[in-house]
Amino acid sequence: MRGKVVSLVGGVYDVYTLNKQLVKVKPLGILKHKKIKILVGDEVEVSLENMTLNEVYQRENSLIRPRISNIDLGIVVMSLVKPNYSSYLLDKFLTLLNLSKIKPLIVITKIDLIEDRSVIVKIKKQYELLGIKVIGFSKETREGLEEIKNEIKNKTIAFMGQTGVGKSSLINIIDPDFERKEGEYSSSLGRGKHQTKEVILLPYEEGFIGDTPGFSSLELDIYKEDLASSFPLISSYYHECKYSNCLHKNEPGCKIKELVSKGLLDPENYQNYLDISDELILRKDRF
């Protein structure tokens, strides 16, 4: 019977089968021998007679952080306040999705906590330049809820973002039966308190909703060259640069710098790119 891995606890995998049955299975020894790493989201073959996981099918895609596979849509959840909005961190999440060729969607939460709505308008315009949709959401008024539901219907999606931005609370509003534990923001710590400890897929509308652990910071384990082709500002245009190995800093004939100077790409995103690039090393310098 074919199914999808929806969670992992202590070496036992929960698999949601095609006949909508949730079973607990253990992988065959041959999979361990071959050092096959099984991820939440993997399509697998299970034996209902022996309660074993026998085969892992080829993945469409996978993410390193959070560790999840076969995602149709990666939803980056950012709050406007508590924790404060950061385009720098958002661009890091979007880079991870681009690296895995996963379509992104941005959800901005806690929009009812600010009076100046021009902030959310600015964010929408900024990322629409990159072809990325932004939805504002309020837990209190439910603004944006139906739009989010329409985006996730019949898809396998994963919510990701900082601790305390409202991922689990949003999931509970989408379907109260999920009863995900909700984190809260700690003013003394300046970040959210961790609640979700594991990656889990929840069946929803002929698809799945992925809840993932939040974190306060995100380090990209990639090289400058990877960033130069996968950063959200750059991924659609880098092939138009004069040099194929352009890092979009001081090189002549750089299409990215040209578009930024003309106001066709946002300078804030470009500065984020420069700052993140400074944190990374070149592939040739890895030793």
pLDDT of residue 285: 75
Q: Which residue has the higher pLDDT, 1 or 213?
A: 1
pLDDT of residue 59: 96
91, 211, 144, 94 alpha-carbon torsion, rounded to 10°:
10
CA distance 26 to 281: 40
Q: Are residues 87 and 181 in the same domain?
A: yes
Domain with 233 in it: 224-285
Instruction: Count other C-beta atoms under 10 Å from residue 262's C-beta.
Output: 8
Q: Tell whether 216 is covered by a domain.
A: no
pLDDT of residue 158: 95
Q: Are residues 75 and 178 in the same domain?
A: yes
Are the C-beta atoms of residues 13 and 25 closer than 8 Å to each other?
Answer: yes
Q: Are residues 135 and 273 in the same domain?
A: no
Confidence of residue 186 (pLDDT cuts 50, 70, 90): very low
Q: Tell whether 188 is covered by a domain.
A: yes
Q: Are residues 74 and 150 in the same domain?
A: yes
Q: Tell whether 156 is covered by a domain.
A: yes
Q: Are residues 45 and 67 in the same domain?
A: no
- Lookup result for tokens 């709505």: 117
pLDDT of residue 32: 86
CA distance 42 to 60: 9
Domain end, chosen from 58, 74, 94, is at 58
Query: What's the rounded mean pLDDT across residues 149-153?
Result: 95
What are the residues whose beta carbons fall under 8 Å from the beta carbon of 16, sequence distance 6 or more? 3, 4, 6, 22, 201, 203, 208
Are the C-beta atoms of residues 223 and 278 closer than 8 Å to each other?
Answer: no
220, 271, 215: which is closest to 92 by C-alpha?
A: 220
The pairing of strands 156-161 and 73-79 is parallel
* pLDDT reading at 196 higher than 70: no
Q: Are residues 92 and 204 in the same domain?
A: yes
Q: Are residues 194 and 240 in the same domain?
A: no
Question: Which residues face 74 on adjacent strands?
Answer: 104, 158
In the chain, which ranges are E strands? Answer: 2-9, 12-17, 22-27, 43-47, 52-56, 62-63, 68-69, 73-79, 103-109, 134-136, 156-161, 185-186, 191-192, 200-204, 207-211
Q: Tell whether 250 is covered by a domain.
A: yes
Q: Are residues 181 and 271 in the same domain?
A: no
Instruction: Count other C-beta atoms under 10 Å from residue 169's C-beta.
Output: 19
> Among residues of the chain, what percentage have pLDDT more than 70?
92
pLDDT tens digits, one per residue of 209-265: 999 887 767 889 999 999 999 999 999 899 999 999 999 999 999 999 999 999 999
Q: Are residues 95 and 193 in the same domain?
A: yes
pLDDT tens digits, one per residue of 6-28: 999 888 999 999 999 999 999 99
Q: Are residues 128 and 264 in the same domain?
A: no
Domain end, chosen from 211, 239, 263, is at 211
Query: What's the rounded mean pLDDT across residues 25-42?
Result: 93
254: CATH: 1.10.40.50
Q: Are residues 116 and 249 in the same domain?
A: no
176: CATH: 3.40.50.300
pLDDT of residue 251: 95
Number of folded domains in the chain? 3
7: CATH: 2.40.50.140
pLDDT of residue 193: 42
* pLDDT reading at 145 higher than 90: yes
Q: Tell whether 218 is covered by a domain.
A: no
Q: Are residues 191 and 254 in the same domain?
A: no
Query: What's the rounded mean pLDDT across residues 51-57?
Result: 96
Domain end, chosen from 179, 211, 243, is at 211
Q: Which residue has the higher pLDDT, 177 or 269?
A: 269
164, 219, 220, 174: which is closest to 196 by C-alpha?
A: 164
Q: Tell whether 37 is covered by a domain.
A: yes
Q: Tell whether 217 is covered by a domain.
A: no
- 79 three-state secondary structure: strand
Q: Tell whether 219 is covered by a domain.
A: no
Confidence of residue 192 (pLDDT cuts 50, 70, 90): very low
Q: Which long-range contacts (CB under 8 A, 24 or more apart) does 94-98 make?
A: 94/132, 94/231, 94/232, 95/220, 95/222, 95/227, 95/230, 95/231, 95/232, 95/276, 96/63, 96/64, 96/65, 96/218, 96/220, 97/63, 98/230, 98/231, 98/232, 98/235
CA distance 131 to 135: 13
pLDDT of residue 226: 95
pLDDT of residue 179: 66
- Lookup result for tokens 């315009």: 125
